[in-house]
Chains A and B, each alone.
Chain A
Amino acid sequence: MSKSINRRDFLKRGSALVAAGSLPLSLIEVAFGVSSAQNFTFAYISDSHITHIKGNRFVRNWDRGLIRAVAEANLLDPKPDFVFYGGDIAQLGKPEEIDHGLELLSGLSGKVHYVMGEHDYYADLGDYWKQRLGPDYYSFDHKGVHFVVLNSILTHEEWMHGKWDTGMDRMKQMARLDNPDGQPFMVGAAQRAWLKQDLDKIARDTPVVVFSHSPLQKIHKGWNFWTDDAEEVQALLKPFSKVTVLYGHVHQIQYNQIGNISFNSAMATAWPWPYPSTYSQVKTYLPKLTVEMNRADPFFERDATGWQFINMHTGNVDVSYVLPDNRNRVVAFDTSAGKPLDTQYQAESKRIPPQTHY
């Protein structure tokens, strides 16, 4: 009863699966076109928002989201080179939340690099997070790619260090996404100065991947899908031939190309956010390139949540979104078009009803 399969067939099947967004676990190499030392894979998990209720109780829904992402990420075969965590381990920055989140993340095999999120930061201006995880901005090199991590969720000094009854009061202001008194995110002058001298050390043709929590773009100020000094940061990255920014915070699929910089967002493991364009009372901006994620059925708590794995190839970034209770997506850098495109749904004629948000 067994059918023999020749190599041509199984390669075709493998690439068809990749195009459809599912992972041929043992065939990651097939996704790489050109062979290069810079081809490797890493996992990218973000926005778990672990929430402490009382005593030993945490919000079950967000716990399950992170547990699910870790379980699926551990299926990757061959193992990814490392994991990036995109920010917002906690919901209100409490040590219990950070500890519980890190405990769940410890189920991952391999090294994890962390990015600061505002929900980790504002209760104590990052003290506990830095105690457990180290610096909130840094860089390193891996297989010829220069990785930079920024803390892009800072805001005006006077506000951060202002007169607050408790750190939690300040945290709760930042925690509310649609806060009419919200403060804009920024990288700030100090980090931009650090970034400049860090980038001065590397060759212009070195691929650069920048991790930040906020988008390093200006998308919707009302929900802080925004970085106030985005243009200044982008200017520092302009001289490089291959730059990708990977960001969290938005809890939805977004991708964009601004000049030489590709932008890709991460999904949250916790819950999805609507697209800003669905807020009928203000004008908002979403990168035209983006084909939106499928709308969620809230009955399925994991719908429109997920994690991603990144294939780096020849210095460009392909993002595979792993979306439980929904359909996976692949946004790959198209070298001829010079921008990230969805491998299945980019053309208008290929769109499906769940991608219509209103």
Chain B
Amino acid sequence: MSRSSVWLSTLLLAALGGVAQAAPLGLPEVPVPTGNPQTGAKIGLGDKLFHDARLSADGKVSCSTCHDPDKGFTDNLPVSKGFNGLTGTRNAPTVINAAYMTTLFWDGREPDLEGQSKQPPVNPVEGGLASHDMLVDIVRQDPEYVQAFRDVFGVEAAGITVDHIAQAIASFERTVVAGNSAFDRYYFAADTTAMSAAQVRGLAVYTGKGRCVSCHLIEQTQALFTDNRFHNIGVGFKSIQGKEAETAAAFVREKRAGADVDVTVLTRANMSELGRFAVSENPTEVGSFKTPTLRNVAITQPYMHDGSLATLEDVVDFYNNGGRAMETDPLSGFQSGGIRPLNLTDQEKQDLVAFMKALTSPEFAARAQN
């Protein structure tokens, strides 16, 4: 376990007194399910599991491999690299403020943090373990873990399940929340000096001509920067353009025959582009992906579900062109009704990028620089 993560969780626990957590500036209280209450010991256990590379087929991949606290809890790669250096199809989302998500993964295939953390260890291109049984066995081999699980869950080694592991990790992740960015101080704490003139102009673009605020929500008393919904903004559909019907039909046939959605979407690039459709089978959701939060976006590059946009400038151009990298690129027929050309001036584009840099929480900005 890295020293920096020990520091972080100790600090948090000291501040928290182990249980209740104050909402960060600009965010509401962290939702905690009644079935998995926060305790200091559980959070500490989850922290240890999150950083433990032994929980993989080659002993080299932990959650923190792709969700590195020093990189905004991402890996700053277009798509993540797991077991044996194998790559998947999707960009690692940040864990920071994931506690506020109402579904997890780019396609929302898990309803909560507890469900999410069970999938990567057993995905062939992530943790690579053959089954949850193998994951639990690794934990049972470690007497420190056995003691910790006894303390937290009151179970003996034989009684440890993958759900205990998932609950502990989720508890830790619920402490990985951060607000108090320059924007938060400006907007919610009336600190008019917190943002630069360009950032203030950028906020006006964000809530006006840029049309960002409708999906990356800023509201009157808090700002999640996501609506927790799924939209097709036109990223990455080229690989299935003109072949949506056959790709969708093939996917549904394989799913009916027992294929695991988690494995399919991370190992089959064309089927990955089906997005939310893979979960809902709703023809209106082909190519739709979940709105990520924009908090800390300046340190969680590259962007989009396939990591195909490298910089914030690229992102702004993509939206300004109406959902394409180049104005001459084709548009997806399944494009969200919220996407359209924006006709931003160069100044407006620059100001928008400047504003997005005002969304970094101070504790993570510092770490990303080191």
Q: Which A residues contact B (CB, under 8 angstroms)?
A: 1-5, 10, 17, 22-26, 60-61, 64, 67-68, 70-72, 74-77, 297, 299-303, 305-306, 322-326, 328
Contacts and interface: CB of A to CB of B under 8 A. Distances in A.
A80 B327 CA distance: 35
A75 B337 contact: no
A3 B257 CA distance: 9
Contacts of B9: none
21 contacts: A1-B263, A2-B258, A3-B258, A5-B256, A5-B257, A5-B258, A10-B256, A25-B248, A25-B249, A25-B252, A72-B286, A75-B283, A77-B248, A77-B249, A299-B214, A301-B337, A322-B284, A323-B284, A324-B334, A326-B284, A328-B284
Interface string B3-24: 0000000000000000000000
A32 B134 CA distance: 44
Given A2-B260, A300-B336, A301-B340, A26 B249 contact: yes
Given A67-B333, A328-B284, A26 B253 contact: yes
B259 A2 contact: yes
Interface of B is mostly: loop
B281 interface: yes
B207 interface: no
B260 A17 contact: no
Contact of A72 (B130, B256, B334, B336): B334
B281 A68 contact: no
Interface string B178-217: 0000000000000000000000000000000001001000
B131 to A, nearest CB: 7
Interface in B278-320: 280-284, 286
Nearest to A309: B283
B131 A1 contact: yes
> A75, A76, A301, A322: which has the most chain B beta carbons within 10 Å?
A75
Nearest to B130: A1
A328 B282 contact: yes
Contacts of A302: 336-337
A68 B282 contact: no
Contact of A71 (B211, B256, B257, B334): B334
B173 to A, nearest CB: 23
A324 B333 contact: no
A77 B246 CA distance: 9
B122 interface: yes
A151 B172 CA distance: 65
Nearest to A72: B283
A26 B256 contact: yes
B333 A26 contact: no
A71 B337 contact: no
B1 interface: no
B217 to A, nearest CB: 12
Given A26-B253, A70-B333, A75-B244, A325 B281 contact: no
Contacts of A61: 340
Nearest to B257: A5
Given A2-B260, A75-B286, A60 B281 contact: no
Contacts of A72: 283-284, 286, 334
B258 A23 contact: no
A303 B249 contact: no
A26 B338 contact: no
A306 B248 CA distance: 20
Given A2-B260, A300-B337, A324-B337, A75 B248 contact: yes
Contacts of A71: 244, 333-334
A76 B286 CA distance: 13
B248 A64 contact: no
A68 B334 contact: yes
Contact of B282 (A22, A60, A74, A300): A22
B138 interface: no
B211 A299 contact: yes
A74 B245 contact: yes
B91 interface: no
Contacts of A64: 335, 337
A24 B280 CA distance: 10
B245 A324 contact: no
A1 B263 CA distance: 9
A5 B284 CA distance: 26
4 shortest A-B CB distances, which residue pairs?
A71-B333, A302-B337, A301-B337, A300-B337
A60 B337 contact: no
Contacts of B130: 1
A324 B338 CA distance: 11
A325 B337 contact: yes
B338 A25 contact: no
Contacts of A297: 214
A17 B281 contact: yes
A180 B54 CA distance: 76
Given A299-B337, A300-B337, 5 more contacts: A1-B122, A75-B249, A306-B284, A325-B337, A325-B338
A22 B278 CA distance: 12
Interface in B234-266: 244-245, 248-249, 252-253, 256-260, 262-263
A70 B262 CA distance: 29
B283 A301 contact: no
A4 B281 contact: no
A261 B340 CA distance: 42
A273 to B, nearest CB: 17
Contacts of B245: 74-75, 77
B120 to A, nearest CB: 12
Contacts of A25: 248-249, 252, 281, 283
Nearest to A5: B258
Nearest to B280: A22
Given A1-B122, A1-B131, A10-B256, A68 B333 contact: yes
A300 B258 contact: no
Contacts of B280: 22
Contacts of A4: 258
Nearest to B214: A299
Nearest to A23: B283
A325 B249 contact: no
Contacts of B335: 64, 68
